[in-house]
Amino acid sequence: MSETPSFDKTQTIPIAMQLVSAGDSNIGRTRASNQDSGYNGVNLFFVADGMGGHAGGDIASALVTHKVAQVDAIYDSPESAGDAMKQAMLQANRKLSETVEQHGELAGMGTTFSGLAVVGSKVAIAHIGDSRIYLARGGQVKQITKDHTFVQRLVDTGRITPEEALVHPRRSVLMRVLGDVEDAPDIDVMTMPAKPGDRWLICSDGLSGVVPEDVMHRILTENGSPDDACELLVYEALEHGAPDNVTVVLVDLKHAGFAKKVETNAEFLGSAANDVVVENTKDRRFLRLLNPRNLPEVFGINQDPAAFLPESEEYLELILRQTKSRVRMHRLRQFLGFLVALAALGGLLWAGYSYTQTRYYIGESGNGKVAIFRGIHESFGSLKFSQLFRETSTDVNDLTLMQQDEVRRTIAADSLNDAYIKFDLLLSIEGQ
Ligand code: CA
C-alpha cells in the first residue's frame, strides 16, 4: 500500500505563514535495515521510528506513516488538527494489531510517532515514544516533546540525573508506543503558538541520541536552508558513528508575503518511501541468516535494543540499579583514564629529567673554583636541573679575564669524558 495524501495540491488558499521544509532518512552505519519512516508533507510533518525483533519495525513505521499522512489537510483550528492526528494514530494502532493477527511473526512490532501540523499561527503536536520535536527560535533551541522512556521517567521523579540517563544502556526502552500491545495508547497532544522565523525539527533518536546537543543547536540556529540543515544533521550523525537509523524533518516558518498558493511536494522518507509488503517472513528470516550484517540482530546481540515494555515497578528498579552501576563504571573509567594520563605525563617529565642528567658542564662553584656540574645549567623558576659533580682546586679568579668569562657563562659537555677533556684544554691554555 502506498496511498498518497488526500491533500489537493492545486488548491489555492490564504495562508498565514509560508512553510519551507526538508526531510532526510539514512540507514546509518551499522543497521541492516532502515526501520525509520518520515513524512515531509504540506501542513503535516512527522517522524516514526519502528521497532520489533527481527522484522516488523520497518513495517510498523511505514504502515503508521501512510495512515497518518492521509490527514495532511487544511484545518480551521489547531485543536481539530491535533485531534485528526490523534485519531489517525489510533486507527494506525488498530491496523498494527490487525496486521500482527494475520502475521504472527510480526508480534511485538511498534513505532514511535512525533508530528506537527501548522494551522494559522499555531502548531498542533502529537507525540508518543522517544522521537523528538525541537523548536529553534531567536537563537535558542528547546526540546518540545518529552521522551516516553523508562530513563526519562526516572529523571522526572528525581531518581537519576539527566547526565546518568545519557549513559544508560537501556535508554531506548520505551513505555509508550503505537503497536499491537495496547488498544488505547496514551498520546500526548498539544498546541503551541508559532511565528515567522521559527524552525521546527522532528527527529528519531538516531540523531538526538548520537549528535551532541551543542552541534545540533549550532546547525539549527545557523542561517542555512532547511535542505542544508537536514544534510548537515545527517552528516553529523554519520560522523558520530550512526549506530542507529537517522531521520530528520525540518520546517521553517516564514512570512507569507504574497505567497497565497500552496506549493508542495509531499514526500515519504525511510521505510515508508517503499511499498509496504508484509510477506511471509520464514523464508526471509532464513535469507537474513546468510547476511553477516544481520547476525547481531538475528542472535539478539543488538547494541541499541529499542524495545517496548509496559510500565512496571520491578523494571524501574532494575533500570535504577543498572543506571547506578553504569555511572560508577563510567566514573571509574574516567578516573583510570586520568591516572593513565597522569602516569604518561610523569613518565615524560622523568624521561626529560633523566636526559638532563646525562649532560655535564664546566662552571664556577660556590667557592669560586672551576668545577664540573652534572645536568644542564638552565633552571625553571626555583627548580634546578644540575648539581656539583667535582670541584677542582683552580680558582676562577686565577684565570685570564677571557677564561673567567667563559667559565662563568659555563662550557657545555656531552659527557663526563667530554667535560674532562674541555677542563684539561682550559688549563693547558691557561698554562701557556
Ligand atoms: Ca531509533
Instruction: Return the pLDDT at 300.
Output: 47
Contact yes or no for 129/111 (Cβ under 8 A)? yes
Domains delineated in the chain: 6-311 (3.60.40.10), 360-431 (3.30.70)
Dist CA 243 CA 398 (whole Å): 78
Question: Percent of the chain beyond pLDDT 70?
Answer: 84
Question: Percent of the chain beyond pLDDT 90?
Answer: 52
Lowest mean pLDDT among 193-197, 220-224, 285-289: 285-289
Q: Element (H or E) spanning 178, and its range?
A: strand 178-179
Contact yes or no for 54/282 (Cβ under 8 A)? no
Residue 34 CA to ligand 1 center (angstroms) comes to: 9
Residue 47 CA to ligand 1 center (angstroms) comes to: 11
Residue 203 CA to ligand 1 center (angstroms) comes to: 10
Strand partners, 265: none
Q: Which of 85, 93, 132, 131 is nearest to 112 (CA)?
A: 131
Residue 244 CA to ligand 1 center (angstroms) comes to: 6
Dist CA 395 CA 45 (whole Å): 92
Residue 97 CA to ligand 1 center (angstroms) comes to: 21
Does 281 have pLDDT greater than 90? Answer: no
Taking only the tens place, the pLDDT of each residue in 2-31 is 444 555 544 544 556 889 999 999 999 999
| Residue type at position 158 | G
Contact yes or no for 112/48 (Cβ under 8 A)? yes
Taking only the tens place, the pLDDT of each residue in 316-365 is 777 777 777 877 888 889 899 999 999 999 999 999 888 888 899 999 99
Residue 228 CA to ligand 1 center (angstroms) comes to: 22
Average of per-residue pLDDT values in the chain: 85
Residues whose CB falls within 8 Å of the CB of residue 108, separated by 6 or more in sequence, listed in order: 52, 53, 56, 179, 180, 181, 308
Cell of 22: 526538508
Cell of 78: 489547531
Residue 84 CA to ligand 1 center (angstroms) comes to: 25
Confidence at 96, pLDDT banded by 50, 70, 90: very high
Please give all residues whose CB falls under 5 A of ion ligand 1, grouped by chain where several chains appear. 49, 204-206, 244
201 or 153: whose pLDDT is higher? 201
Residue 243 CA to ligand 1 center (angstroms) comes to: 9
Per DSSP, the three-state class of 309 is coil
Instruction: Return the pLDDT at 55.
Output: 66
Instruction: Return the pLDDT at 303.
Output: 45
Query: How far, in Å, are 275, 417, 431 from residue 66 at the CA level?
Result: 10, 87, 104
Per DSSP, the three-state class of 170 is coil
Mark residue 188 as left, alpha or beta (left: phi above 0; alpha: psi -120 to 50; beta: remaining). beta
DSSP label at residue 261? B
Instruction: Return the pLDDT at 428.
Output: 74
Query: How far, in Å, are 94, 95, 117, 179 from residue 90 at the CA level?
Result: 6, 9, 17, 10
Dist CA 195 CA 205 (whole Å): 26
Strand partners, 251: 21, 200
Residue 77 CA to ligand 1 center (angstroms) comes to: 32
Dist CA 212 CA 380 (whole Å): 41
**How confident is the model over 194-212, as a mean pLDDT?**
95
Instruction: Return the pLDDT at 264.
Output: 62
Dist CA 298 CA 55 (whole Å): 10
Q: Which of 317, 426, 329 is nearest to 369 (CA)?
A: 426
Does 188 have pLDDT greater than 80? Answer: yes
Burial 313-326 (b: 16+ CB within 10 A, else e): eeebeebbeebeeb
Contact yes or no for 177/205 (Cβ under 8 A)? no
Residues whose CB falls within 8 Å of the CB of residue 342, separated by 6 or more in sequence, listed in order: none
Dist CA 269 CA 40 (whole Å): 8
Does 424 have pLDDT greater than 50? Answer: yes
Strand partners, 179: 110
Cell of 250: 525540518
Residue 324 CA to ligand 1 center (angstroms) comes to: 24
| Residue type at position 72 | D
Per DSSP, the three-state class of 75 is coil
Contact yes or no for 172/148 (Cβ under 8 A)? no
Residues whose CB falls within 8 Å of the CB of residue 199, separated by 6 or more in sequence, listed in order: 135, 136, 137, 220, 226, 229, 250, 251, 252, 253
